[in-house]
Structure 1
Amino acid sequence: MAYFSDVRPLERAGGSVERPLRDVFRLPAIGASVAEARRRVLARLTEWDIGAVVRDDAQLVVSELFTNAVRHTDSERVDCELRVTGVRLRLAVTDQGSGPARHAGGAAGLCPEGGGAEGENGRGLLLVSALAEAWGVRPGAGGRGHTVWAELGFGTSAP
């Protein structure tokens, strides 16, 4: 299990971070990794003094994206990147698999197994869409896998 970190104390200027904060970790593509990803996101965002509402939303988003990567691809590992710049938290989950995931219509939605937003397999992405200010998907390096990202905004409210 690899773990990379570029952690600095959170410095706020008018509710924004002066320097980007970044953390990257890699976990095996197994069901137990979903809970571990949530724990790591909570720990890092708490350390960075990100408010409770954003921490909760980020855990839900990472949970949904990790679950999709584990369930719908043939990946051996899943990578996660957290980056805070200004007043935005960007979460990116990258699988290495070539499972049945495909792009759906709309705002770059990833629709596993063609489940559609209303089907059982699409509910998590509806949640991501509701929580995130923006989100999307891009092909992985070398045309294999996917990176699904979401951006959450935060302000000056207390944690």
Structure 2
Amino acid sequence: MAAIRRFGFELPGRTESVARARRLIRERMLRWGIGGDLLDTMALVVSELFTNAVVHTASDRVQCELRDLEGQLRIAVRDQGCPPGEPRLCRSPEDERGRGLVLVDAMCSAWGAHDVRPGPGRIVWAELTLGHRRDAGRTC
């Protein structure tokens, strides 16, 4: 499936970059004519994925790409490497990590992660289906 529209950027791997990533995604989606609940959901998803890349890896730079694929919005965040077995969902209320991915899992039609080959790094991605609702409160 070919991308209809595509937008990417790279930011420093610092916590203050999360707000900039969220702003860049919101601005691009508005340019594409995508707003409302879908815009808010994607802003939250990029915030969670970008935060994970900044907080849980030793990345100097984090890359982000938004694609509008036929009926799907796909966000992919690439870091410079994370610990083995990461990222993961929160397994219990006592877990200190993984709660953001629980949100991503609940809001998106699909998400996943894979190592970058060759070289260090991991891509964590999530998809939102345009025009469909998983339940009454979320656009997915």
TM-score (norm 2): 0.85
Matched residues, number: 130
Q: For residue 143 of structure 1, report the CA deviation from its aligned partner.
A: 4.2
State the match for 1:141 in structure 2.
Answer: 117
Q: 1:131 aligns with which of 95, 107, 116?
A: 107
Q: 1:87 aligns with which of 71, 78, 84?
A: 71
Matched residues in 1 for 2:92 and 2:113: separation? 15
1:111–1:117: 8 Å Cα contact kept in structure 2? no
Matched residues in 2 for 1:116 and 1:74: separation? 24
1:121 maps to 2:97: yes
Quick one: percent identity of the two aligned structures? 48
Larger Rg: 1
TM-score (norm 1): 0.75
Q: After superposition, where does 1:5-84 map in structure 2 within 5 Å?
A: 20-84=4-68
Q: For residue 85 of structure 1, report the CA deviation from its aligned partner.
A: 1.4
1:73–1:101: 8 Å Cα contact kept in structure 2? no
State the Cα deviation string for residues 56-110 of structure 1 (Å, max 9, x = none).
010111001011100111111000000001111000000013x32524xxxxxx2
State the match for 2:126 in structure 1.
Answer: 150
Matched residues in 1 for 2:84 and 2:21: separation? 21
- Unpaired segments ≥5 residues, structure 2: 133-140
Q: Where has structure 1 moved over 6 Å in runs of 4 or more?
A: none
Q: Secondary structure at the match of 2:118?
A: helix
Matched residues in 2 for 1:123 and 1:69: separation? 14
Q: Secondary structure at the match of 2:127?
A: strand
Q: 1:111 aligns with which of 69, 88, 94?
A: 88
Matched residues in 1 for 2:57 and 2:92: separation? 18
Q: For residue 51 of structure 1, report the CA deviation from its aligned partner.
A: 2.8
- Tell me how large the CA RMSD over aligned residues is: 2.1
In structure 2, relative to structure 1, the CA distance for the partners of 1:146 and 1:133 (3 Å cut) is same
Matched residues in 1 for 2:88 and 2:30: separation? 31
Matched residues in 2 for 1:68 and 1:101: separation? 14
- Unpaired segments ≥5 residues, structure 1: 1-18, 104-109
